[in-house]
Amino acid sequence: MPPQRDTTSTESAHFTSVSGTRFSSVEWYEEIDSTNTELLERARQGAPEGMVLIADLQTAGRGRRGRRWTAPPGTSLMMSVLLRPPPGVLPPPRAALVTMAVALAAVDACERVSGVRPSLKWPNDLVIAGTGPRDLKLAGILAESLSTEGELTALVVGMGLNTGWPAVPDELDGIATSLNLVSGAPVDRTLLARLVLEGLEQRYGALCSDDHGAGLGAASLLAEARHNSATLGRHVRISFDETSNGASNIGALEGVASDLDAEGRLLVRDVTGRTHTVSVGDVVHLRPTS
């Protein structure tokens, strides 16, 4: 069954492209299985870079490690973008930098629309500081790629950002929040989406102009990520699944999140002083460093 197009909106008028960017095809849906799944299939069929899907409701939304992502209709910005990096510019290990670019674009967009500036929780969340050591999740980002002979041919990056919850559900109390609840005012999702895409164009364009992703664009992006990080400087516990290729490969790791490397991986210093390079894992913030 084809996705159901959105024909009504109580927010800013929906746009179909963003002037001055590569995002020349923006489609809006009332309901879809998953914006990432749909866009990945279109990428396999040859869809061009710059296609964007935005939905009011996902019936089979996915987060990292296959987790379900659900939200009531119209209460979250659920958006996926299709990117096709030029050959050699972003090898698969550097794909995380694009996820970082989306996250930072969303941070700026949230502040411009609501006055609230979230922080980045490594590797793929936007969070708001809570009253205790635990931060409240505002958004999750999921990147999925297509590769041929080790070359990244397509990258689909999806984001679910809570924007219009009537209240925090009991089961998510102290765990997650929504932009409208933090700011105390309604959030224009359409404007928010446009600003995210404008900010992504700036950052992704700089990455693509780099020599193999290692030049000034990547350096600037990493500096921005460090400045906006909720993870660096924190005592953290990181859990790895059985397929994790983290340097520790020990199931779990505790230590201080000290820095990001050139590929956006997290550097964690354990109690013995040894630094571990973590490429993937579930992070729990324990407390700030003293």
The runs of H, that is alpha helices, within the chain are 35-44, 96-114, 179-183, 189-208, 216-227
pTM > 0.75: yes
First to last CA, the chain: 55
Residue type for position 250: I
Q: Is 254 found in the same domain as 169? A: no
In order along its 290 residues, the chain shows pLDDT tens digits of 445 443 334 578 999 999 999 999 999 999 999 999 999 999 999 999 999 999 999 887 554 444 555 567 788 999 999 999 988 888 888 889 999 999 999 999 999 999 999 999 999 999 999 776 689 999 999 999 998 888 899 999 999 999 999 999 899 999 999 999 999 999 999 999 999 999 999 999 999 886 544 567 899 999 999 999 999 999 999 998 654 444 445 578 999 999 999 999 999 999 999 999 999 889 999 876 55
Tokens of 11: 């927010």
Host domain of residue 240: 234-288
Whether 80 and 214 share a structural domain? yes
Beta bridge partners of 143: 157
Nearest to 140, CA basis, from 218, 78, 60: 78
Query: Which residues share a beta bridge with 252?
Result: 239
Residue finishing a domain among 186, 208, 227: 227
- Over residues 43-70, the pLDDT tens digits come to 999 999 999 999 999 887 554 444 555 5
Tell me what pLDDT residue 70 has. 56
CA distance 55 to 58: 7
Give the relative orientation of helices 96-114 and 216-227 as an angle to the nearest 10 degrees: 50
Which residues lie closer than 8 Å to 250 by C-beta, 6 or more apart?
A: 240
Query: Are 123 and 265 contained in the same domain?
Result: no
Instruction: Give the mean pLDDT of the chain.
Output: 88
Same domain (yes/no): 90, 115: yes
> Which residue from 178, 141, 135, 179 is spatially nearest to 160, judged by alpha carbons?
141
Neighbours of 156 (CB within 10 A): 25
Residue after which a domain boundary falls, among 227, 248, 268 = 227
Q: How many domains does the chain have?
A: 2
Query: Residue 168's domain is classified under what CATH number?
Result: 3.30.930.10
Last residue in a domain, options 227, 242, 258: 227
CA 34/CA 74 separation, integer angstroms? 15
